[in-house]
A and B are shown apart, each in its own frame.
Chain A
Amino acid sequence: MHHIYCPYCEEIREEEEYSYTGEAHIERPKDPASISDEVWGDYMFFRSNPRGIHHEMWYHAAGCRRYFNATRDTHSYQIHETYKMGELPTVTAPTKAAPTKAAAQGDAS
Chain B
Amino acid sequence: MTSLSANLSAEDMMESSLHHHAVHTNATDAGVVMKEDKFRGHVNLRGNPQDTAFMVAVESVLGVALPTRANTSVRNGDTVVYWLCPNEWLLIVASGTQGQLEADLRSAMDGQHIAITDISSAQTLVNLSGSGLAELLQKSTVYDCHESNFPAGKVVQTTFAKTGTTMCKLEDGSMDFVIRRSFSDYFFLWLQDASEEYGLRVA
Contact = CB atoms under 8 A, between A and B. Distances in A.
Direct contact of A and B (CB under 8 A): yes
Given A13-B143, A14-B142, A16-B142, A8 B159 contact: no
B71 A9 contact: yes
A63 B158 contact: yes
B85 A8 contact: yes
A10 B71 contact: yes
Contacts of B164: 62
Interface in A11-52: 11, 13-14, 16-17
Contact of B159 (A10, A11, A16): A16
Nearest to B142: A14
A8 B87 CA distance: 10
Interface residues of B, number: 12
B158 A17 contact: yes
B144 to A, nearest CB: 9
Contacts, number: 36
Nearest to B141: A14
Contact of B85 (A13, A16, A64): A64
Nearest to A6: B70
A6 to B, nearest CB: 9
Contacts of B84: 64
B79 interface: no
B159 A9 contact: no
A14 B85 contact: no
Contacts of A66: 85-86
B70 A13 contact: no
A9 B143 contact: no
A9 B70 contact: yes
B95 interface: no
B157 interface: yes
B70 A62 contact: no
A101 interface: no
Interface string B67-80: 00011000000000
Contact of A10 (B70, B142, B143, B157): B70
Interface string B59-100: 000000000001100000000000011101000000000000
A62 B165 CA distance: 8
Contacts of B143: 13-14
A63 B157 contact: yes
Contacts of B88: 64
A62 B157 contact: yes
B66 to A, nearest CB: 15
Minimum-distance CB pairs A-B, first 6: A64-B85, A14-B142, A10-B70, A63-B157, A62-B164, A62-B159
Given A62-B158, A64-B88, 7 more contacts: A8-B86, A9-B71, A10-B71, A16-B142, A62-B157, A62-B164, A66-B85
Interface of B: 70-71, 84-86, 88, 142-143, 157-159, 164
Interface of A: 8-11, 13-14, 16-17, 62-66
